[in-house]
Amino acid sequence: MGIVERIKNILLTPKTEWPVIAGEASTTGELLGGYVAPLAGLSVLCGFVGKTLIGVSVPFMGTMRTPFLAGIGIAVFAFVMAFVGILILSTVINVLAPTFGGEKNSTQALKVAVYAYTPAWIAGFLGIIPALGLIGVVISLYGLYLLYLGLPRLMKNPEEKSIGYTAVVVIVAIVVSILISIMATGVAMLFGGGAMMGMGALGGHEASPQVTFDKDSPMGKLEEFGKRMEQAGKKMEAAEKSGDPKAQMQAAMEGLGAALGGGKRYEPVDPAQLKAMVPESLAGLRRNSVASEKGGMAGLQMSQADASFTDGAGKHVDLRIQDTGGAAGLMGLAAWANVQGEKETDSRIERTTREGGRMVHEEISKKGGPNELTVVVGERFIVTARGDGVPIETLRSAVGSLDLAGLEAKKEAGAVK
């Protein structure tokens, strides 16, 4: 079936189209190369034209345009991450299937992810006219309905469990989208800051040499990440052809690990170790509660410790120390992208900086409201302190008093090869 016919059918008659899709013998290459690539590519191209060449009209400020190099960087990054997002989502769909009474099948899971994303890519075409962005958001929401219809037909789960199945998959998709957006911001800043790419490499001109990056640079990290995802994709395709369910599951988990772990899989540290880092007092306040837990599904587990501190007179601080475990690789990518920036309104200031090699995010109230400080340690652990009636400087000092160096020393703990 042609791509145009498939788009029309999945959008207009999804109830009859999903059973047709379920019976098709599609390969990973056909789905990614024959469907995702053209739709994601055209969506990205429209966004590039709209934001970089046409621009967004802002009242009292005129037309705002993304710098050309930044636009190219964002476009290339968005195209690559379209494939990464689909692979992550399909793996999650496959892994969760038994939880909701369904059957694991990596090919069917990939079909669900690919075709449910159709409205989002179609909405991306509207990016060529930035003013239509809100309409694009509404169109994208139709993908939730397609996901809801497709799961029971392809993953064989009971109809009554589709709502919960859909909800969990959507939550994962939102988290992945947020992380990718954060990384995209870093890419924009990287290119906007004057980083140059050989245009011959993008356009295929023989006169330009192949572009390479220092392995420890942001683009070098992304390049290595892309290679690992390519290897994981080949393993998944080979496992699919073998027909061995065990091999397919192992390849799927390796793919998930490559996506979320930056090429590695991490088991989160014992939450008792994080709990041990919580002091009896913080920011001059005594601890009145502490708890720790570990949870999530295989390959996506996290652990954390939470504590509350108060003086009984209105001052209050909540502390959380979290090991992102299976998603540590995405935290690393965000750090590699060197995300930094600042936003200020009449009531709050938000800024993201890097201090001592660590990403630091501050949310500061200008009117006596709560303040919040978040520090990413070892590109894996997240330490957050939120205080009512406590100045941001006090939160900084409080977090700085914790054994962050000891926490950073655990950044490779639980690595699964």
Q: What is the pLDDT of residues 198-242, one digit of tens each?
A: 323 333 333 333 444 455 554 455 555 555 555 655 665 666 566
Poorest-confidence range of 135-144, 240-249, 308-317?
Answer: 240-249
Q: How many C-beta atoms surround the C-beta of residue 42 within 10 A? A: 15
| 273 vs 312, residue with greater confidence | 273
Q: Hunting for tokens 């970089």 — which residue is that?
A: 52
Contact predicate 255/86, CB 8 Å: no
Crossing angle for the helix pair 218-242 and 68-96, to the nearest 10 degrees: 30
| 202 vs 37, residue with greater confidence | 37
Report, as an integer, the average pLDDT of 241-246. 66
pLDDT in tens, 6-25: 888 988 899 999 999 999 98
pLDDT in tens, 290-328: 999 887 555 557 788 999 999 988 899 999 998 877 555
Position 196 scores a pLDDT of 31
Give the three-class secondary structure for 204: coil
Poorest-confidence range of 168-177, 242-251, 329-338, 373-382?
Answer: 329-338
For a pLDDT cut of 70, what percent of the chain falls above it?
63
d(CA 370, CA 21): 51
Contact predicate 374/360, CB 8 Å: yes
